[in-house]
Amino acid sequence: MNDHKPELICPAGGLPALKAAVDNGADAVYVGFRDDTNARNFPGLNFGPDDTARGIEYAHRAGKKILLALNTYPQVHNWSVWTTAVDRAVELGIDAVIMADPGLLRYAASHHPGLRLHLSVQASATTYKALEFYHQRFGIRRAVLPRVLSLQQLWHTIANSPVEIEVFGYGSLCVMVEGRCALSSYITGRSPNASGVCSPAESVRWEETALGRESRLNGVLIDRHGLNEAAGYPTLCKGRYCTGTQPYYAVEEPTSLNILDILPDLFRHGIAAVKVEGRQRSPAYVASVARVLREALDTCASDPERYLVRSQWTAVLDRLSEGQTHTLGAYHRPWH
Amino acid sequence: MKISLGPIHYYWSKENVEQFYRSVEHWPVDIVYLGETVCAKRRALRNADWLDIAARLAGAGKSVVISTLALLEANSDLLQLEKICANAHYMVEANDMSAVHLLAGRSPFVVGPHINCYNSETLSLLAGLGATRWVPPVELPATTIAMLQNTRPEAMETEVFAYGHLPLSFSARCFTARADNVGKDECEQRCIGDPEGRALFTQEHERLFTINGIQLQSGIPCNLFNEMVPMSAMGIDIVRISPQFTATELVVRAFHAVLNGDYTSPEKGMPAVFCNGYWYGEAGMKCLSAEDD
């Protein structure tokens, strides 16, 4: 049994969420600057310089860390925005930066050798050989794995990895390999890699029609909901499409990942950290999820053999989930 | 500019693959990419079969490159990758960073379209590791590619995905199996029944995507046939044509004719409906022309 307890990494899209995360048991909080240098570049979200400094002070006073996501891919015309962000992270005293772009990783490693680097899920590294690459070339210390590996594949990767492994534990589910998805830019012109957004809000339109409530993304019909159906945000991969006559969730249902069921296994195999998705979510969401996962991690650490998922944990998390249901995602073979 | 034939994205029977490449021997393409890039469960052709095809194509004067899997998951995928990267005869197109790691400093390689190379610094880093050709990610606009051309490392060739259904995303999930309501572990390689993928429509019957196992592609083909003049002016070295089950030869011959100054029947073989939005920095599904600017 590995006696190391995984860190709990929580999201924050603003100072109130950051404080909620710290107050409710996060070991580290990840944030992004208010621009397209991170993969949650949404209007009204993220941190300006003053907020970041205040957030770091708040977390450090509580003995917690702040991680900065700089995990989109800079291009020629805006390269300096990303390098300036790396420099600013160092000045502000960020504990680690989470990055995906190889050129930017090289910049950070050569200009700021003391800066702790985490490999973002957006780098799409799914094997220990890929992790060796980023470790040998840039000295990354941790990697966040895409949500595609089954448990056996995950254990094999951890056993051979030169760096710590962080996995997603709860939140909305990307069904595609992160960093390898251009579906959003195909429809809207903006993608997670290049613009830090998927299915951007400015392209969304809702229409009440005789056939139902329609959600459109840049004019494309994503889904059509009846009167009694809950209609979620039209993320394009969670729409209903047709290969035959009946529309169905051809890519993925609205649901959230939840790994509470496999926590003892994750402990046993030496996972370094469990990450919560949702920088775009409210401080109340962050507080509730952090509290549940804190309790689950502590319970599992104290007696992994007798660990059982408590029904109230599941109830709280399901209420906050897309579609009010959860899945083990790729960790569970039948999901594939 | 040269013409390349990209790897076959779909799952075809061994006979179909062999027959296809026997025809390719006589087509006016300079470079042919071989191998499975989408799903490790597609094993109709073994390594030896691919090498036989490679040898025939090389004998016909084609430059042969072996392409690697874009999404590796199992350790068996890594072992297969190691075999490909260690081959002594053919250049390799790396489609993930595991492949880049295995090839770095050992042999010249191609940076495939599934490697996230978005800027000069990453391109120069890859050049330093041995990359001698790169295929930009399909979503990169012409303006960005042009800027990268200005700073590209010496002896780096640029190859643009110019024709075919755009490979847009990969997943652990098989969407073909899902469409038939079976699990991936029970898929029985049913995608062999969809030699050009399976069309996915919106509820308004708009063809949005193409399901190809664990990959989603554009619903309609990308076609940069009308952009060859600006491409040439930008110093693009190679245009890539992605094989379809039918009519690929017509497309190849149409591109070849225009590249050789023959504009007598430019539309022959070209689809009526296509997209090129990425090239113009717009939504990839759009179809635009230079006059729209």
- Yes or no, beta carbons of A177 and B114 under 8 Å apart: no
| Helix (H), strand (E) counts: chain A | 11, 14
Of A74, A185, A223, the CB nearest to B283: A185
B282 near A CB under 8 A: yes
Please give the pLDDT value at position A227.
Answer: 81
CA-angle at A248, arms to A243 and A250, nearest 5°: 65
Residue A80: exposed, middle, or buried by beta-carbon count in 10 A (0-12, 13-18, 19+)?
exposed
**Which positions in chain A touch B204 (Cβ < 8 Å)?**
221
pLDDT score, position A97: 98
Q: Which residues of A touch B198 (CB under 8 A)?
A: 243
CB contact under 8 A, A242 and B200: yes
CB contact under 8 A, B116 and A250: no
Do A76 and B120 meet the contact criterion of CB atoms below 8 Å apart? Answer: yes
Binding-face residues of B in 230-259 toward A, CB within 8 A: none
- Contact criterion met (CB < 8 Å) for B70 and A222: no
Containing domain of residue B57, as a range?
Answer: 2-166+221-263
Q: Look at residue B181 and tell me if it is in a domain.
A: no
**Burial of B210 from C-beta contacts in 10 A (0-12 / 13-18 / 19+):** buried
pLDDT at A2: 47
- Say if residues A182 and B284 touch (Cβ distance below 8 Å): yes
- The chain-wide mean pLDDT, for chain A, equals 94
CB contact under 8 A, B202 and A241: yes
Q: Is residue B100 part of a domain?
A: yes
Tell me if B142 is assigned to some domain: yes
Quote the crossing angle between the two packed helices A283-302 and A311-320, to the nearest 10°. Answer: 150
Per-residue pLDDT of chain B (293 residues; tens, 9 = 90+): 999 999 999 999 999 999 999 999 999 999 999 999 999 999 999 999 999 999 999 999 999 999 999 999 999 999 999 999 999 999 999 999 999 999 999 999 999 999 999 999 999 999 999 999 999 999 999 999 999 999 999 999 999 999 999 999 999 999 999 999 998 889 999 999 999 999 999 999 999 999 999 999 999 999 999 999 999 999 999 999 999 999 999 999 999 999 998 887 767 778 889 999 999 999 999 999 877 65
For the segment A52-76, what is each residue's pLDDT rounded down to a tens digit?
999 999 999 999 999 999 999 999 9
pTM for the predicted model, two decimal places = 0.96
| CA distance linking residue A273 with residue A64, whole number of Å | 14
User: CA B46, CA B56: separation in Å to the nearest integer?
Assistant: 16
* Amino acid symbol at A29: V
Decide: residue B75, CB within 10 A, 0-12 exposed, 13-18 middle, 19+ buried.
Answer: middle
| B280 domain residue, yes or no | no
Q: What is the CATH number of the domain that holds B123?
A: 3.20.20.70
Domains of chain A in sequence order:
7-173+255-335 (3.20.20.70), 188-238 (no CATH)
For chain B, positions 89-108, list CB contacts with chain A under 8 A: 96-98, 100-102, 104
Is position B176 within any domain?
no
Size of interface A-B (CB pairs under 8 A): 210
With respect to residue B275, please indicate whether it lies within any of the assigned structural domains: no
Report the pLDDT value the prediction gives residue A1, as an integer from 0 to 100.
Answer: 43
- Per-residue pLDDT tens digits for B5-18: 999 999 999 999 99
- Which portions of chain A are predicted below pLDDT 50? 1-2
- Indicate whether B288 belongs to any domain: no
Number of Cβ atoms within 10 Å of the Cβ of B76? 10
Question: What is the domain count for chain B?
Answer: 1
- Is residue A170 within 8 A of residue A319, CB to CB? The reply is no
